[in-house]
Structure 1
């Protein structure tokens, strides 16, 4: 990886399969640790609807900034500009540091957050222009349409500022799903033909299409999910360290650990790139990347709710209970969407696993006002364990000489 005379040492891969995240990429992912932690703190206490909306908005912005440079390093690899990635890393750190101020309604912190996001996106666009490539998997990574509302927001106040940020995220999603990468290439080539000076500077080199390297990208996406699950452990550790250690706390801590362990098993033992029940190569990256974002967002919200649960050992406040249960329900809903793209899917799995796992977590949310906190968490553990047991049973049945019964 290089930036002018700056080179980051990295071994040359002999094939895509043996390529792993570089030290620079792992250093960059450390910012995700800080960002996820800061954003998850928005759901501490008893969050209301505005807290949830702000959480979703800031998480989407932070993930978008992260994925732009994750994809850039994925494609460029040894030609990645180190100083460009470090500049983006600093910008994301600024975004993370500004999150508490944004939550408190501080105009200065909100402007700093927006400005850092704008600069990161423009930096990503410049990096792709320098490579003269258009990323097929995520065209929004090099387009600035979604950045325009963020720029306008620098001169606005709450709540208009947040609506503009949401518009910017929506435009990025629109570009990703509605704009063809070939259309972007044709537009850029047409503009170059009308700019003779640019044509001479480019020495006749045109714009090409680029695709992400699947195995390396899945590793980076999985690392992000691991970071989010780790944040769940941190939340529980922080909450339990300040509480009085008694039997209730012990049982809750064990339940929270089992829940996170089951989610880890589903995301990686029964999933791909951290997305449960997603199979490699089944969905195009344009569909798989949003799934990864939303799964990570659900897990981060669940992590915050687990931390709050350790502070309410008797019964959970309504808002916290709904956050905990609906986050898990959302996780399973996304799992079902990932499963729909798989070949050979069974209707029995949909009826026996997907639908119950989406609906059952909502029962404690609706009827659990008087249920003890530890009981609610253990119920969620049992719900999460069911898909794992079903998969093992299905695997054994498929190997049985008697038949699978599917």
Structure 2
């Protein structure tokens, strides 16, 4: 007989649960992955490079998320070998990013993605669970274009990857909880019928009770893991500054850019982790549905990784003009971050629209001005400090959101262990 409760209580959350040593070790692959993906945006990236970055970041983040959700739900029952195998798959994906448009490395990336995706899916299948919070962990459709791309070379391959990512995004938000519950009910009836007619369960084993249950995430533990990923991305920004600064001439302009870029990362850290939740700026305790929360995390971390790469390019060009593409990338990434922060701050404190507009509009206008300015006027020092002014202005005018939830500072300082 199959259990399929229609009214599922919220998952019991232990306030003492933190990321395990295994999960922290697994998250190390994010360091390598983000670092390699950032290299796609070095130099003077074109639209094709930016598009490839978006697709590959979504692919890497999705596979990281599938295995993170598995550990979140399985808790102490997490299979160590499965998680380590997924870690190896993500490592191969990261290593294949440089030259991913070449035949061999592109094939390796597709194979590693498909295999890691299979690990994440089978983890929930073996547990006989359907995760309502992110339903694509149980679906295969998004992996099909990636599987096909293993045998396809040339310009068609990135388009197949784009199709796979698009299918995942579509089904993530198209499958409502009611439709998933209906699907679960149909499975229950099918298994009950097979048991009545043949004396077997859905896995084909006579006499065993087949159970398909609904799984829910541990929201506090998931927020910690998401915050750790964001912290890793911000750390990559520091690495970009160090790498670029090691080959630059250390003069007054260099220190002006370096100090501004570092202050910018500090502001992003404060907004995301001290005054946000799960690494997402402006997010309060009344979090949106898990699907939207995870989607926002993907947007924020993708923007932060792109901004980190652009900051590295800025330090490299400290003695000259900043390339138009780098300035546009910095402006776009900062603007996307601010839009998310503005929307979530409004959701947290809807009663102060005038103050929020005072914070958001000048900050967004500065980002737009930087992105639309002619390339000949892009000076590294002015560009970096314009973004510092934009983020600093926003942080100053929205500072009362932290005071509204005084426990947030204590959580930020005490977690993770």
Q: TM-score when scaled to structure 2?
A: 0.87
> Would the aligned equivalents of 1:134 and 1:184 in 2 still touch at CA under 8 Å?
no
Match of 1:192 in 2: 191
Match of 1:401 in 2: none
Provide the residue aligned with 1:50 in structure 2: 48
Pick closer, same or farther for the CA change 1:153–1:188 going to 2, 3 Å: farther
SS of the residue 1:189 aligns to = helix
Shift of 1:301: 0.3
Q: Which moved more, 1:227-236 or 1:138-147?
A: 138-147
Who is 1:183 aligned against? 182
**Deviation of residue 393 (structure 1)?**
6.0
CA separation of 1:395 and 1:222: change in aligned 2, threshold 3 A: closer
Residue 163, structure 1, aligned to residue 162, structure 2 = no
Please state how far the C-alpha of 1:308 moved relative to its aligned partner: 0.3
Q: Pairwise CA RMSD of aligned residues? A: 2.1
Q: How many residues are paired up?
A: 383
Distance 1:381 1:159 in 2: 39
Contact 2:124–2:138, Cα closer than 8 Å, also in 1? yes
Determine which of 138, 144, 151 is the counterpart of 1:142.
138
Deviation at 1:45, TM superposition (A): 0.7
- CA distance, structure 2, for counterparts of residue 99 and residue 345 of structure 1: 46
| Cα distance between partner residues in 1 of 2:155 and 2:403 | 55
**Deviation of 1:226 (Å):** 0.3
Residue 204 of structure 1 aligns to a residue whose secondary structure is: coil
Structure 2 alignment gaps of length 5 or more:
1-11, 406-417
Unpaired stretches in structure 1, ≥5 consecutive residues: 1-13, 399-406
Change (3 A) 1:182 1:397: closer
User: What SS does structure 2 have at the residue aligned with 1:280?
Assistant: coil
Task: Give distance in 2, aligned partners of 1:356 and 1:83.
Answer: 50
Deviations 1:52-111 (A, max 9, x none): 000000000000000001010001010001111011000000000110121xx2111111
Q: CA deviation at 1:115?
A: 1.0
Q: Secondary structure at the match of 2:130?
A: strand
Alignment check: 8 A CA contact 1:283 1:341 kept: no
Q: The residue matched to 1:155 in structure 2 has which SS?
A: coil
Residues 230-287 of structure 1 show CA distances to partners (whole Å, capped at 9, x for unaligned) of 0000001000001111111111110010000001111122211111111223300110
Which structure 2 residues correspond to residues 1-400 of structure 1 after superposition, within 5 A? 16-102=14-100, 105-179=101-175, 180=177, 181-193=180-192, 195=194, 196=198, 197-199=200-202, 201=205, 203-313=208-318, 314-342=320-348, 344-367=350-373, 369=375, 370-392=377-399
Partners of 2:13 and 2:220 within 8 A in 1:
no
Task: Please report how far the alpha carbon of residue 212 of structure 1 lies from its aligned counterpart in structure 2 after TM superposition.
Answer: 0.4
2:410 match: none
